[in-house]
């Protein structure tokens, strides 16, 4: 029994859901998202969405929870949106943006220029005495997560000094250095 798949999805005011036989479209104040689906059925009753599976076979059970989570993220995204914040820890690590181009100085011989898709709103915050912060926000949770993971992959936090690109609030497992 899928605990996640059986939970109903509450559709807030101002969000419209269009359910076709193999694709669902969710529209809200922040945008529009579509998601193809198979092996499950989606129905709407009394301002709630229900995802049901045809049988208890293993592939149907797996897709039941998956599509319920994806549709829930779509509804939350078009109504409230998603935000990810990355922090640059290290001496000389800087971030700036010109429009949708993110310019990162991460201790390499050259700066990394990364083009951000137009669906994602980009903001860089640099205050004196604090680590630079990159703020990504959009209505698409998958896209924001993928872009944040890509930016983090340019310089992952290392375990000795903790230098690198990390999520705000992320705990880095630290190792002891050389013992003299």
pLDDT in tens, 136-162: 999 999 999 999 999 999 999 999 999
pLDDT in tens, 7-31: 999 999 999 999 998 999 999 999 9
- CATH architecture, domain defined by 82-167: Alpha-Beta Complex (3.90)
Single pTM value for the model: 0.89
Domain limits, the chain: 9-79, 82-167
Same fold, 9-79 and 82-167: yes
Q: From residue 41, give the alpha-carbon distance in Å to each of 63, 67, 71.
A: 11, 10, 12
pLDDT in tens, 44-91: 999 999 999 999 999 898 899 999 999 999 999 999 999 999 999 999
- CATH architecture, domain defined by 9-79: Alpha-Beta Complex (3.90)
- Strands of 81-120, DSSP E: 82-89, 94-98, 101-105, 112-115
């Amino acid at each position: 029994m899928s605990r996640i798949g059986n939970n109903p999805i509450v559709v807030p005011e101002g969000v419209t859901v269009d359910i076709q036989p193999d694709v669902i479209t969710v529209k809200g104040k922040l945008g529009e998202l579509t998601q193809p689906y198979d092996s499950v059925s989606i129905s709407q009753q009394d301002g709630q969405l229900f995802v049901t599976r045809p049988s208890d076979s293993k592939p149907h059970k797996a897709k039941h929870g998956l599509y319920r989570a994806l549709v829930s993220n779509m509804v939350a995204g078009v109504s409230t949106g998603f935000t990810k914040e990355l922090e640059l820890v290290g001496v000389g690590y800087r971030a700036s943006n010109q429009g949708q181009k993110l310019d990162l100085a991460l201790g390499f011989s050259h700066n990394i220029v990364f083009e951000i898709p137009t669906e994602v709103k980009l903001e860089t915050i640099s205050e004196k005495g604090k680590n630079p912060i990159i703020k990504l926000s959009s209505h698409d949770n998958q896209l924001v997560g993928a872009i944040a993971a890509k930016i983090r992959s340019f310089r992952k936090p290392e375990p000795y000094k903790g230098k690198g690109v990390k999520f705000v609030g992320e705990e880095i497992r630290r190792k002891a250095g050389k013992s003299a």
